[in-house]
Structure 1
Amino acid sequence: MSLLAVRNLGKSFGAVVAARDVGFTLERGEMLALIGPNGAGKSTVFNMIGGQLRPDRGQVLLDGRDITSASPQRRFRQGVGRTFQVAQTFLSMTVAENVQMALISGRRETQELSGPVRVRHRDEALALLGLVGMQDAADRACSALAYGDVKRVELAIALAGQPKLLLMDEPTAGMAPRERAALMDLTASIAASRSIGVLFTEHDMDVVFGHADRVLVLLRGEIIAAGAPDAIRQDARVRQAYLGDEHALDPPAARSPA
């Protein structure tokens, strides 16, 4: 049984069809990229899987359980973690406190808080920060971190819910090229070691083809191609979809200098 099974998802906004009969599976430990040109429907599909949008039709199954109508909070408790294009952290809190809050929320302890957050689940928070290389910054305010480090903290926050499925929306947006590769290398390593399925959207094709096990390509709300990165890179229909940037799918060494 696949970790995630998406079946015939459809969504329209008035006369605009944003997703039409979208279906795919995701396995444990797999890195699956969802790409497409602007307006292809990536955000719509992503948000239907995350619970921010209700599909007009179709199903989302997690470990065989239908979560199509579940709220984002319920999905979180059933094993769906998420990071966002713009990192979501409490800037006034310390790095450790951000992760501790995620642990508290995931265990439904928010109603029981009677003391400072910093005394709850600190050892577990530090272990998660160690996993993403941020333990030394545990007592710094998130507001004092470089953006690449904030992204690592956000990953630790997502891992606090012990996700089976991790949704990453433009995970490397706003990061320098070297930081992008490091973050995705880290994510792939964690996904493999913990058998977490990762679905991510991304505009940086170097990130996609360098880190995805498989790639899904959306165009006008429909999946037009699915397969291994090398096969997708050579697919004629995919290259046609990206004609606005004719070199977008080429390996870095093969691109013409600007």
Structure 2
Amino acid sequence: MSALLEARGLSKRFGGVVAADAVSFSLAPGEMLAMIGPNGAGKSTTFAMVGGQLAPDSGRVLLDGADVTGLSPAALFRRGIGRTFQVAQTFATMTVCENVQMALLSAAGEVFGLWRTARARHREAALEALARVGMAQAADRPTATLAYGDVKRVELAIALAARPRVLLMDEPTAGMAAQERAELMALVRTIARERAIGVLFTEHDMGAVFAHADRILVLVRGEIVAAGAPEAVREDARVRAAYLGETGARTAAQALDARETHDGGRP
């Protein structure tokens, strides 16, 4: 399967500190690719270079073979790269549906001087996106009244509203309860398969990573030290030494066991 998104030799320095050193990887349609590593490993820097928040010193980002290096997040969004954040980014004073409508207006490049004029636009598409994440019943509620787990679902609907080909998720389960984390990641995985969306995500919860990722990249000091299927990464001696440790390895094993039971032995 051809790559949907490619990072080729992405590097970034901050003074004398090498935050990312020739990081390369690819992402296929429908694939869940996790990027993990200890604090200071370069995950955030790499993620920001791919998402357009940070320009690389060298290297390229390709989307469907086209060079999109250095484009702004807004430009990448219009080209089909959606994004969620560690702390959910929504307009608390707007309704749930209005939040999604704003994303659709942005994706269409539509600008309105008065929001009351724009309120009628893209409502059906917004409701469709909300239905897919189980939030249609809350469409006309103020976002500020939602529980945090529901806000994260709304943020996912916002990211999916413009039907992206790539979804970047920065710590998608941060701040969520265990059951909410499992449900959200299972939902993302299902939608990624259905729509052939490539998902690149960072995550500290090893249970979520090993239960839902198809492949895992492990960064240490700005370099990829391991990459592959969850089973292979869990057994990699360098990963155990640099990052997982015995506790993390046990968590990974438990997550993989649960995944095999849920998928009938199929990753």
Name the TM-score, length of structure 2 as normaliser. 0.92
Q: CA deviation at 1:117?
A: 3.6
Q: CA deviation at 1:162?
A: 1.5
Partner of 2:247: 247
CA RMSD of aligned residues (A): 1.5
Q: CA deviation at 1:71?
A: 1.1
Q: Within 1, Cα distance between the matches of 2:12 and 2:129?
A: 37
1:139-195 Cα offsets, whole Å, 9 max, x none, are 111100000000000000001122110000000000001000100000011110000
Counterpart of 2:116 in 1: which secondary structure? coil
Distance 1:138 1:254, change over 3 A: closer
Unmatched tracts of structure 2, length 5 or more:
256-267
The question of 1:6 aligning with 2:17 is answered no
Q: Within 1, Cα distance between the matches of 2:166 and 2:35?
A: 15
Q: CA deviation at 1:81?
A: 0.3
The question of 1:54 aligning with 2:51 is answered no
In the alignment, residue 109 of structure 1 is paired with which amino acid?
E
Counterpart of 1:60 in 2: which secondary structure? strand
Q: Within 2, Cα distance between the matches of 1:190 and 1:114?
A: 31
Q: Within 1, Cα distance between the matches of 2:216 and 2:32?
A: 9
Q: CA deviation at 1:247?
A: 0.5
Distance 1:125 1:241, change over 3 A: same
1:6-45 Cα offsets, whole Å, 9 max, x none, are 1011000000000001001000000000000011000000
In the alignment, residue 139 of structure 2 is paired with which amino acid?
A
Q: Within 2, Cα distance between the matches of 1:26 and 1:122?
A: 32
Contact 2:216 2:228 in 1 (8 A): yes
Partner of 1:187: 188
1:176-233 Cα offsets, whole Å, 9 max, x none, are 0100010000001111000000000000000000000000000000000000001101
Provide runs of 4+ in structure 1 moved above 4 Å: 252-255
Q: Could you tell me the percent identity over the aligned residues?
A: 65
Unmatched tracts of structure 1, length 5 or more:
none
Partner of 2:135: 134
Q: Within 2, Cα distance between the matches of 1:53 and 1:104?
A: 25
Equivalences, count: 254
Counterpart of 1:119 in 2: which secondary structure? coil
Distance 1:36 1:71, change over 3 A: same
Partner of 1:228: 229
Q: Within 1, Cα distance between the matches of 2:236 and 2:252?
A: 18
Q: CA deviation at 1:109?
A: 1.0
